[in-house]
Chains A and B, each alone.
Chain A
């Protein structure tokens, strides 16, 4: 595969997390030696009306007139947003250049983020995105409105950033023994991103019979193929709670896990593990799909 086409894509929207997104994207791009692309979307929110005239009548050429009026209003708005976006991208670009990226790409597009990302999917190596955008910036108990649909519709690794940048030293892999988790292990073992990091391989079990021995083959794989120092650990109890506690205790910098392996209906009824982790976890979450 041509590495040139596969970029680290960072989604910038001017919220407080955008800077951290840039930093993490730069960190990944440098470690995996991939080009970095900064993306800013201008979402027009066509579902809301720009003007509202309740006089309720239509007269000579009112259709043409209405079109002109709407066009003029939207043109003005779009120009402003275009300008704002350009400034954001410029600032982001400077930031990643300072972090050591030689030639970052920047891109500004109109429309919804989810649709654009689906279009760009083939050229994405890792997507870096803030946990919540500008709209929910000050609501720490919420995850971004589009985040779940982005994670569900993309089949690429996604790093969800929720805090200021700190170069990861210790990562935690949440392993559940499923096929998806094994695939995630394969990705981790073969990617240059994790070389030289300490990795806590954590399995949360429902019964006490499982032992660390059982994780040994997985740990060996990570060590031999990926050159990663592995600490295996089996916990007993509720996964999301335990994983967050573990992460606090061992000063983990980044969590790696599979995401949304169930259907929407399953998650709607039982609650999604991924969603809980996104909400409760204080460190960036790398989701492997």
Chain B
């Protein structure tokens, strides 16, 4: 199942996939190097990871045309692990991340993505863009004016080069930027930081190696607190990216297979000396824009990346960091959802609050998982609050019989229970109280307790209480809607009873 794929996923778009794969590979190199530096490891760790993850997800991923590799979101989570325990523990954590993701895939946790609302996704994407940008700042502080000039020039090349006639649209402008800035740096022998200064580059193909960590409980205690957020963030970003690609290409993807695929890719990366990674929004968009659609594009991107890096390592080490910073700023700008800024005015306050809270928490904690958690929580609270407004109580008094009839209509649950109780007039002296619950929906135990409370209170005031329609009202206390998802069942519960 995991290895099955349709022929057209591989061969349906050969020309487009090959070209797009090459473009993506060129853009992947700076990203992999930059994210290795963020994580505090040699560039080769990120480059091996990008190769391995891209190639494995090409075969086993659930979303053809999506690019997965070493990412910034994941790199930020590893910083302290690398600093405190070293590379070997990072590789072990990467392995464990993969295992956790595969388990998540088999538990079909991908479907939990339905709880992640649009505003949380927007917040996630924006936060990611901000993090990628912030990660470039160390390269831009305490440096000579050359670096600023180079970075600005690089950005100018990236965005203006495509406007050149003929060659503009056929050469990837990030590549042109890197080549041009490298030539300038070498020609004028500028004393600025280059990729070679940042650590070791790969000079061979990756080799299989088991992480050199003791297989003890202690090791697990060290890596588990890193593996869990890595697994969560990796899946979140991958599934969100998959949704974006689904929208762009108007085709469906298999989210649970993507979870398993990401897991397998991370296990592969861990065993070949790479760091954990996940899908990349920016690169995937570049892939689709360049005409990539199939699994072949991801495979080409991964393999070409490794070939380039292994054979051109002498040249790659001469690339000035300013060129990489330009490319990463481009990725950051392209990832940021600018329409979300424009939409701030039109969208309701609660939606904006969810989006901004997600961004703030992520930027503050550098952990996308916390941001998404806060966003989802906030969105759920706002939702519960909105739904609680769908409840009102009308009443009428039959003076002759001294009977007050309350008719309860709407949703009663933890959030609307107080409002429900407040709707009764306990001060009124009547002989009998009738509470008609035919059109009320009790969603949880809090609401039932509230009803009990109201009944007891009326009794204490000396009234006889009669409940009508209790059975229908409480049918909504169901934990799973598995048996209730047929239209007629929904009609029974939600409808007018």
Contact = CB atoms under 8 A, between A and B. Distances in A.
Interface of A: 44-49, 51-64, 66-67, 70, 74
Contacts of A49: 13, 16, 20, 288, 291-293
Contact of B330 (A44, A57, A63): A57
A67 B244 CA distance: 10
Given A49-B288, A54-B172, A70-B249, 17 more contacts: A46-B249, A48-B293, A52-B20, A53-B162, A53-B291, A54-B169, A55-B169, A55-B172, A56-B27, A56-B172, A57-B172, A57-B334, A58-B331, A59-B330, A63-B248, A66-B285, A70-B288
Nearest to B169: A55
Contacts of B286: 56-58
Contacts of A74: 250
B495 interface: no
A70 B248 contact: yes
Nearest to B14: A48
Contact of B282 (A48, A58, A67): A58
A70 B289 CA distance: 9
Given A46-B249, A47-B12, A48-B12, A59 B334 contact: yes
A57 B158 contact: yes
A58 B23 CA distance: 12
A276 to B, nearest CB: 22
A57 B16 contact: no
Which range holds the interface residue count of chain B? 35 or more
B16 A52 contact: yes
Given A54-B169, A57-B162, A48 B16 contact: yes
Contacts of A48: 12-13, 16, 293
A52 B173 contact: no
A227 B294 CA distance: 55
A70 B331 CA distance: 21
Interface in B22-36: 23-24, 26-27
A56 B289 CA distance: 8
Contacts of B331: 58
B171 interface: yes
The 8 closest A-B pairs by CB, nearest first: A58-B334, A52-B291, A56-B172, A47-B12, A55-B162, A49-B291, A49-B16, A56-B23
B9 A53 contact: no
A6 B24 CA distance: 51
B289 A53 contact: yes
A27 to B, nearest CB: 35
Contact of A59 (B8, B23, B159, B247): B159
B248 A54 contact: no
Interface in B228-251: 244, 247-251
A159 to B, nearest CB: 27
B159 A62 contact: no
Nearest to B15: A52
Interface in B361-416: none
Nearest to A71: B250
Given A48-B16, A70-B248, A58 B9 contact: no
Interface string B121-144: 000000000000000000000000
Contacts of B158: 57
Given A47-B13, A66-B288, A67-B247, A56 B175 contact: yes
A236 B188 CA distance: 87
Nearest to B252: A46
B330 A58 contact: yes
